[in-house]
Structure 1
């Protein structure tokens, strides 16, 4: 595929309260390996357009406004990749931090970090966001961290491989919830959440391609927990540190990605400013450490695989840039190379360009 085969959309933080200097949503043309980046547009006048998600057919882009109480919809120009504002609606809570479209594409699920809930928002046929159809409140005993864990704090939403379930890591409760997705797009709890050690702070998750295992990166203790996944239930099988045993400084884990073949997993460390690599045993699902590599910047809040899965892209929030780390032989990461400068970046998503 050519040098402009994909559009990359980069969300950022924009407010002084966050110590941020982002300009909005930055749009680039890239190749499938994301080696070459060409800036196309910046959509400004947005408050903390931090996390981004496409609608089911990638005709619309949905955006949370971090620290606020709203989410927005944008139509995507199939030729230029440009964004046109559609509408903005209340998200049913405070500080929306993540979002994903339902399997049928008729609902948007939003994690409201400071309101301890997940909102289900209707999506109209024209991509516009509608009313709130359901609010699911997450309950449980908060973790022991006196600052970070005062109550439930859902931090991410991912669909299971078979798209029958919504998986929700919760930083405040040291737990990961699973909800069954009903025919009308509504959510129903499958049972008690899976819990990790006190003070772990579950943050983000990925599913292995065969659907049998889920991996959760913990923000507060910088560990990855492996779970067996069966009929909507998570069963812990292993936890492993994402930091070297010689490191004693301050660090918080953030992002997690898994290669499409399910063999190599990576997690980011903010503070240590690195990516931890792990090999996945295809039978047991257990992880083994496979090196820790500097991320090439400061505070890698988000990581993503390139469209062809040949590299990991780091959104380095405090050094205002994106770096690229090639996935080499046996899943080892090669040294980071800066590929684009973006102020306070926190999320990257890709869309294939129409031909």
Structure 2
């Protein structure tokens, strides 16, 4: 009897292990993608897809939330909330809005909408602990920093940092804002500056190194940091370049700038987005006009870049792009050709090869859940 009981227990354990293994495998075989769009060309707002990791195809498109011009979206670190800016200037007079959604089993439930205190917000990001949310207002030329409650909702009356008063000879255009350690870093396309602010007793003030400077007319748009924080890579929209800054003690210094478009390219082109591969070995950027993803290999020691090549995006005006959580795929949102294109990423060589595409009106922001 004891023997039979042991056999039954072992069989039960084996069965449970198999079931749980299948569940894990099932989870790994699929990811959920949310897409922000512009809504003046047939889009209804934020969309949701299932992304098949085996085939590299986007499936089961649904409207996740009807909202005007959700041009940038971001999840809270715990994935319980999603924040979406509406890139408008008429939520109230000359301001856009940010909407907080609660995420319930990948469904979005609207919680609250409030002002961003500036026109045409184009970026939203969160701190690592989820307690702070920041919005960059492009036309407003400022950033708004919100405190987040336990449920993810945002407290009213954020701190607003105005860039328009910094330089009256240029037009401020805050384009991206990101928290790095105890600092807030803001790229201002109009000022050709990357501004730095430190958290002092819950308020952000100008850091000891108040700014990083790029070439006149470069137009810094997005940036990423290396895993060790030693290097800061900035993609410049207006002159189609990437500038590297290296950190020494607590300050960054520019060390190199690289072209993102081919030397024989004729016509206008404007950079958009920038991402590192999960292993930190490759840097990717999008060129709107040349309509390519530029690929660089990163030197482990110096942080400098070596051009690997450029891959056509199979569409027009590549805006935001993303690398899936496994690092196997790169997905590109082509705003003007109304499609999202999926590429397989060769982890060893960094190169991209076309896999699939799906139609969607004016996609501009891709975020995996």
User: By the TM > 0.5 criterion, same fold?
Assistant: yes
Q: CA deviation at 1:177?
A: 1.4
Q: Which structure exhibits the higher relative contact order, with contacts defined as CA atoms closer than 8 Å and separated by 6 or more residues?
A: 1
Q: Using the alignment, how far apart are the partners of 1:49 and 1:169 within structure 2?
A: 20
Equivalent residue in structure 1 for 2:325, among 296, 307, 317: 307
Equivalent residue in structure 2 for 1:35, among 47, 51, 56: 56
Q: CA deviation at 1:140?
A: 4.1
Equivalent residues, number: 336
Structure 2-normalised TM-score? 0.86
Question: Could you say what secondary structure the match of 1:157 adopts?
Answer: strand
Task: Call closer, same or farther: CA 1:49–1:285 in 2, change over 3 Å.
Answer: same
The reply to whether residue 75 of structure 1 matches residue 96 of structure 2 is no
The reply to whether residue 100 of structure 1 matches residue 125 of structure 2 is yes
The reply to whether residue 343 of structure 1 matches residue 329 of structure 2 is no
What are the Cα deviations for residues 254-303 of structure 1, in whole angstroms up to 9, with x where unaligned?
Answer: 01110122110011000110011111111111111111110111110111
Conservation of the 8 A alpha-carbon contact between 2:127 and 2:133 = yes
For the aligned residue pairs, the C-alpha RMSD in angstroms reads 2.0
Equivalent residue in structure 1 for 2:144, among 115, 119, 133: 119
Q: Using the alignment, how far apart are the partners of 1:34 and 1:116 within structure 2?
A: 42
Q: CA deviation at 1:192?
A: 2.7
1:85 match: 110
1:209 match: 227
Conservation of the 8 A alpha-carbon contact between 1:179 and 1:188 = yes
1:147 match: none
Task: Call closer, same or farther: CA 1:195–1:328 in 2, change over 3 Å.
Answer: same
What are the Cα deviations for residues 43-99 of structure 1, in whole angstroms up to 9, with x where unaligned?
Answer: 353110110001121100000001231100001113xx1111111011111111101
What are the Cα deviations for residues 320-350 of structure 1, in whole angstroms up to 9, with x where unaligned?
Answer: 1111222225434233333322210000111
2:176 match: 156
The reply to whether residue 187 of structure 1 matches residue 208 of structure 2 is no
The reply to whether residue 53 of structure 1 matches residue 63 of structure 2 is no
Q: CA deviation at 1:231?
A: 5.3
Question: Could you say what secondary structure the match of 1:331 adopts?
Answer: coil
Task: Call closer, same or farther: CA 1:347–1:34 in 2, change over 3 Å.
Answer: farther
Conservation of the 8 A alpha-carbon contact between 1:109 and 1:119 = yes
Q: Using the alignment, how far apart are the partners of 1:200 and 1:59 within structure 2?
A: 37
Equivalent residue in structure 2 for 1:253, among 261, 264, 271: 271
Which ranges in structure 1 are unaligned for 5 or more consecutive residues? Answer: 144-149
Task: Call closer, same or farther: CA 1:34–1:193 in 2, change over 3 Å.
Answer: farther
The reply to whether residue 23 of structure 1 matches residue 56 of structure 2 is no
Q: Using the alignment, how far apart are the partners of 1:44 and 1:37 within structure 2?
A: 18
Conservation of the 8 A alpha-carbon contact between 2:297 and 2:350 = no
Task: Call closer, same or farther: CA 1:303–1:142 in 2, change over 3 Å.
Answer: farther
Rg larger in structure:
2
Q: Using the alignment, how far apart are the partners of 1:33 and 1:183 within structure 2?
A: 48
Conservation of the 8 A alpha-carbon contact between 1:72 and 1:87 = yes
- Residues 196-345 of structure 1 aligned to structure 2 (within 5 Å): 196-230=214-248, 232-328=250-346, 330-345=348-363
Q: CA deviation at 1:183?
A: 5.5
